[in-house]
Structure 1
Amino acid sequence: MNRSGIITLLTDFGLSDAYVAMMKGVILSINRDAELIDITHSIRTGSVFQGAYILKEVFSCFPSGTVHVAVVDPGVGSNRRSIAVNAAGHFFTGPDNGIFWPVIEKYKDATIYELTENKFFLPQITSTFHGRDIFAPVAAHISLGLDIQKFGRVVSDPEKLEIPLPFKHENVLSGQIIRIDNFGNLITNITADALAGFLGNNEPVIHTGKIKIYGLNKIYSDRENGELLAIINSSNQLEIAVNMGKASDYIGKEPDDIIGTGVKVEKTG
């Protein structure tokens, strides 16, 4: 498979420290021509689920042959494996903690390799920074065209990630908030298809926390500034928003407590 020359980075490191710069420096020391793209470094600390969700949402926007480094690694230094994945014409490397599970589950052609050939790592491996010591150099070597099979053996038991799914009970469709974006929008795990299948020709009434919304809007400006609304977002998921405001301020919970909050949809004639 041809390489695009692009390496993306997704971490929970933030940008106030030098961790991301160190990873980039390692990559560029091996492949000076690599094009480095930051997906985000603002994943909630240790939130493998959020990292996995965003990676699955974003990676297919890049050309085939792109290498994606994803490091949300609360188990760094433990006996968790380091892996590389070849799936959907892309390459991935990071910890085997479920961060790649949504991609692996969706693309049945995925092949997973445990990274065991330490000649492709930095000479000294610390117990706290595998992003720099293992995943950055591996990504650089993959981007240069090295056969992914050379990094280690194929494994068939990658770590899975429990992904909450919406469910129907009587006349209620139940889901939960799985992400808050930078605009304070509340993204749910209820897909457009699930919502349409549940509603039929009916209108929804949506409840979460202190929020209650009647109906579904097509664009944010359908409502007045400061008004709550529900919309199907660009990822085809039900989103709760405020026109020119933050829905996260309306739910009646602290930001750290919002993820996982239940969302209920009822239908009205």
Structure 2
Amino acid sequence: MSVVDAHQHFWNLETGTYPWLTPEHGPIHRTFEPDELIPQLAAAGVDRTVLVQSMDSYADTDAMLAQADAHDFVGAVVGWVPLHRPEEAAEALARHRAHPKFAGIRHLIHDEPDPDWLLQDTVIEGLGLLAEAGLPFDVVAVLPRHLEHIPVLAERVPGLRMVIDHLAKPPIREKGWEPWASLIARAAEYPQVHAKVSGLNTAADPLTWSAADLRPYVEHALEVFGPDRLMFGSDWPVALLAGDYAQVWRETGVLLSGLSEAERAAVLGGTATRFYDLPETPDA
């Protein structure tokens, strides 16, 4: 089984611009590059990763593609194009798709002042370009409103494959349930919609969390999506706000321990391999 971490980031504060990343973010307000992650992947037995954008900029995407060129463990890159400017987005997609590891698009919709940013006609047109190109869209759903958009997008852009990052950040710390549970179940009714079991530690109590805190939310996701539409992601280095890579990996193993070998293999690699069109085996 090839193990895939379907959600991790790099950033360099000396060469890149990340306005959201302020000193208030404490341990992650610094540069993170591959040399720091490689031994942690080896310790966990992770073969490949999906490197995901951290800023809505061409510079961030170009930096990620350069990292993918330099490191075989980066199996795919989820970059950025200006979806709200479809003509420019089409040109950028043509340019990015020349890279063999370019595998999808994300936009930091949770940083947009308009919570309905995704439903603008120009953005819908931009998402249509992704569908035509066979490229998936990572949805950063952090508000209930963002989850409400997913069935709308599934209807308006039926060819678009989507993955909900971080299970849409369920209210773990508050031990809440609704409207998250109903909204994610509604999104899961569309077979083109997937989700990432990632970033859950930072939705829980950062000091005391364990698999037990995450279990109700992951079990609900397994029920509505099934293992074949779920994928593990570390969300490193954001994960350092509530633990570390080893803890996320260990507690994820606890969460998945009740699944069959085939089901675990799907969540820990098979789903991501298929969704992002990764080679079946990593490069030598």
How would you bin the TM-score normalised by the shorter chain?
Answer: under 0.3
Structure 2 length-normalised TM: 0.25
Structure that is richer in strand per residue = 1
TM-score by length of 1: 0.26
- Greater relative CO, 1 or 2 (CA 8 Å, sep 6+): 2
Tell which structure's C-alpha radius of gyration is larger.
1
Structure holding more helix per residue: 2
